[in-house]
Amino acid sequence: MATGLSAWERKRAELARRVEKVVATTPVLDIHTHLYDPAFKELLRWGIDDLLTYHYLVAEAFCHLDAPYDKFWALPKTRQAQLIWDALFVRHSPVSEACRGVLTTLKLLGLEVKRRDLPALRRWFAQQNPEKHLTRCLGLARVEKVCMTNSPFDDPERTVWERGFRRDERFVAALRIDPLLLDWPNTATRLSGWGYRVGVRLSASTIGEVRRFLADWTKRIRAKYLMVSLPPAFAFPDGNGCAELIERAVLPHCREFDLPFAVMLGVKRAVNRQLGLAGDGVGRSDLGALQNLCAGFPENKFLATVLARENQHELCVLARKFRNLHIFGCWWFTNVPTVAEEMTRMRLELVGLSLTAQQSDARVLEQLLYKWTHFREILARALSDKYADLLRAGEIERDVKDLFGGAFERFCGT
Ligand code: FIX
Ligand code: ZN
């Protein structure tokens, strides 16, 4: 302990250390990821080439690359990874959050990062046993369970569900329904092909069949909640098929199965189509739509996260007004230290502890390591300032458990 500190400063430092320890060691329920149960084989992505071709890094690399987009996409994954590595880690300092994330991850796995030796990194990953590596990554990230994002509209994924498999209890399912709500005419054709008697017009019998489809998939995957991501223009109520399907099919289904409906608001899909998955952007949402959902359907539970920084304050105020609304995570472009810290502090001040502070959105297994390590640092700072303001009246262990999944479980009623 440094000398010359006042008694107050010493107590403050000791409090910060306690909070850091609890935050660093409390296990997490990661309520939104794009990871898969290992039964899905190659759909569960892992390893250095997948880490480097993460769409966050693809977008950043293209700021330096001259290659035409289609030439890049035609390359094998290892070659794409090499180009991204050279552009972002060798020719420039890796200062962005996504780049920093790769370095944190490699360091936590005990790998040498200073030498920038990509072949050596590839050799190390090639030697890993996938099962053991999965357990090790979950352990290092202190993640107890992860929610997947499960889409019946994704052909490779659907095939595995239909075949059936023995579930890994660490992976929880969430039913993703974007094509149902955002592209009904094409989805109607697919549902018909799968034996649901639906038409493009949303007649009572079509709605009944949509509900049968939702019920089948909810049971098949044992969904913990239903989810959709929506564009900034989303309005509710509205005269379009999306709003109608939500009101007449999704919400009654959620009530019947007592499941929350998660809305992720503010994504502008394909702002730059040529970037593929990396080409999505952000826009401000009208949170009046969320307010109308929460007020109009008090028997439904809503989970919500919003992408625009400008919407965060309003979302906190809504969470104070509606006990059927649970807010979660610093999503995607908000998961950078400046914004995540601001949001987290604001949420603690406006909402308190009845929320889920973070979700990783990991698409590649090892990303759990950096996403949770970086966020735990932020949360520890925000909480220890709060406890200091409270003259240390907080119950640290209980509070962190709530923020890392306990409040979510209570909200879901499980
Ligand atoms: O809609 C979503 O679930 C988004 O999180 C993703 O689609 C997005 O591409 C992503 O990976 C963000 O982190
Ligand atoms: Zn996501």
pLDDT at 5: 87
Summarize the confidence of residues 125-139 as an average pLDDT: 98
Our answer on whether the CB atom of 229 is closer than 6 Å to any ligand 1 atom is: yes
In tens, the pLDDT along 238-267 reads 999 999 999 999 999 999 999 999 999 999
Check: CB of residue 249 under 8 Å from CB of residue 207. yes
- Best residue for ligand 1 mutational test, from 146, 182, 280 (most atoms within 8 Å of Cβ): 280
Contact 394, 387 (CB under 8 A): yes
Of ligand 1's listed atoms, the one at least distance from the Cα of 178 is 1
Strand duo 171-176 + 223-230: pairing = parallel
Asked if residue 30 has its Cβ within 6 Å of ligand 1, the reply is no
Between the CA of 148 and the centroid of ligand 1 the distance, in Å, is 12
CA of 229 to the centre of ligand 1 (A): 8
Specify the DSSP class assigned to residue 405: I
402 vs 414: CA distance, rounded Å: 13
The answer to whether the CB of 332 is under 6 A from ligand 1 is yes
CB-based burial label for 189 (10 Å; 0-12, 13-18, 19+): exposed
CB-CB neighbours of 186 under 10 Å: 12
- Ligand 1 atom nearest to CA at 361: 13
Closest CA to 407 of 361, 340, 352: 352
pLDDT in tens, 190-225: 999 999 999 999 999 999 999 999 999 999 999 999
Q: What is the pLDDT of residues 297-344, one digit of tens each?
A: 999 999 999 999 999 999 999 999 999 999 999 999 999 999 999 999
Bridge partner residues of 263 (DSSP): 228, 304
